Structure 1
């Protein structure tokens, strides 16, 4: 899986849009509008950052399964966010499911009025 394919997958989700608030090479992908928009995927050339679990303990399952390809994200890792390597031991279908789960987790926390049309929780 490469970053461009993953970006296209992310952008196909209802209400998803790219943003580049830190002028990085690759964007983050948000869902929602305006100030209420939330990031559900941090894209990098070699990894994707996702909400990997509701708690740090749940997200740590990725670290145990893929110790060389999953890591706690700096700053927000304590809230269940992990970096998952692209092109490593994590199969593409698991990367896609991780992004999908991150999207569901983030959209599910938005107030109902701010959830995108077409989203099925």
Structure 2
């Protein structure tokens, strides 16, 4: 897995778009319209940040399974966000599934009128 492939996967989701609010080398991927859009993936050269669960306890399952390649995201980890590393013990298909789950959790948190067309929830 690499950041380009992950970005392609993210942007294939209904209503997904990139933003770079902090002027980093890699963007974040959001869903929802404009300023009301919410991040579902933080892209980086070494991995991806995702919403791992509705609670920290649910997100900790990733850390329990992959202690060397999954970690609590700084600043927002208490809300269930994890960093997942590329090229380690986490299989590519599980990285893609983690992004799919992050997308689902974020879209479900949007008001119905802001959810993208084509999302099948």
TM range (shorter): over 0.9
How far does residue 82 in structure 1 lie from its aligned partner after superposition?
0.1
CA distance in 1: counterparts of 2:86 and 2:59, whole angstroms? 17
- TM-score of the pair, normalised by structure 1: 0.99
> Which structure 2 residue ranges, 5 or more long, are not aligned?
none
CA distance in 1: counterparts of 2:111 and 2:14, whole angstroms? 15
CA distance in 1: counterparts of 2:33 and 2:47, whole angstroms? 25
Alignment length, in residue pairs?
121
RMSD in angstroms over aligned alpha carbons? 0.5
User: Which consecutive aligned stretches of 4+ in structure 1 deviate over 4 angstroms post-superposition?
Assistant: none
Aligned counterparts, 1:94-105, within 5 A: 94-105=94-105
- The equivalent residue for 1:68 is 68
> Which structure 1 residue ranges, 5 or more long, are not aligned?
none
How far does residue 119 in structure 1 lie from its aligned partner after superposition?
0.3
How far does residue 62 in structure 1 lie from its aligned partner after superposition?
0.5
SS for the counterpart of 1:18 is strand
SS for the counterpart of 1:107 is helix
- TM-score of the pair, normalised by structure 2: 0.99
